[in-house]
Amino acid sequence: MAGLGYTTIFSLKGGVGKTSLASALCLELDYKGKKVPIITNDAISPLEEVLGKEKALKLKLDEDFPELKKKDDIIVDLGGFVDERSISVLKKSKQVVIPTIGSFLSISGLIQTIQEVERFNKEIIIVLNRIEKKEVEKVIQFIRENHDYPIFKLKTSKCFENLLYQNKSVSQMMKEEPLRRSSYKEVHAQLQEIIKHLTG
């Protein structure tokens, strides 16, 4: 077992990196010998095509999520809307990861998402995705005015595009392509910090 448990990645705002983060976590854990598949209800998700059906399951619009327990190692890439299916997922989740990027609309979407998720689950982790270093402290301060959830950072990096294209974890790409080591080093460390928290 990976120790991840039933982990949902969710935001009411699109384009904040839910699928990239889900893929990065899945591939990184897989590289460490821990099989943690992804389930998504996003009808246009490329996960099955990119990761393969052994690592990803794309549900049909009317298909229910499989019955799982909090201790089951699974990542749910949950589409950005709240309905009966998503409420059930949020309630059952061991933890809910809410990614955001640095734009005003995304931060506003983060606050709305936190308020929505808190109705069903208070085990929330925030990931600041692709936020410029100079903006990070302002964004954290803004979030801290109302919420005390753990906050993790993921810098802007081509590695997320490349891991989907190559179907390889950041660790594997760094090992196989030494020229990538320096450019991926920081984001790799940030990803490991997130995994440590989620599996701890």
Over residues 110-137, mean pLDDT = 92
Average model confidence (pLDDT) across the chain? 92
Residue-range domains of the chain with CATH: 6-199 (3.40.50.300)
| Among the ranges given (1-15, 33-47, 127-141, 178-192), the one the predictor scored with the smallest mean pLDDT | 127-141
Q: What is the pLDDT of residue 2?
A: 83
Residue 80 has pLDDT above 80, yes or no: no
Per-residue pLDDT band for 20 (boundaries 50, 70, 90) equals very high
Per-residue pLDDT, averaged over 70-92, amounts to 91
What's the helix, strand, coil split of the chain in %, to 5? 45, 15, 40
List pLDDT tens digits, range 103-122: 777 888 999 999 999 999 99
Distance of alpha carbon 89 from alpha carbon 112, whole angstroms: 18
- What does the block give as tokens for 125? 């982790």
Q: 160 with 174: CB under 8 angstroms? A: no
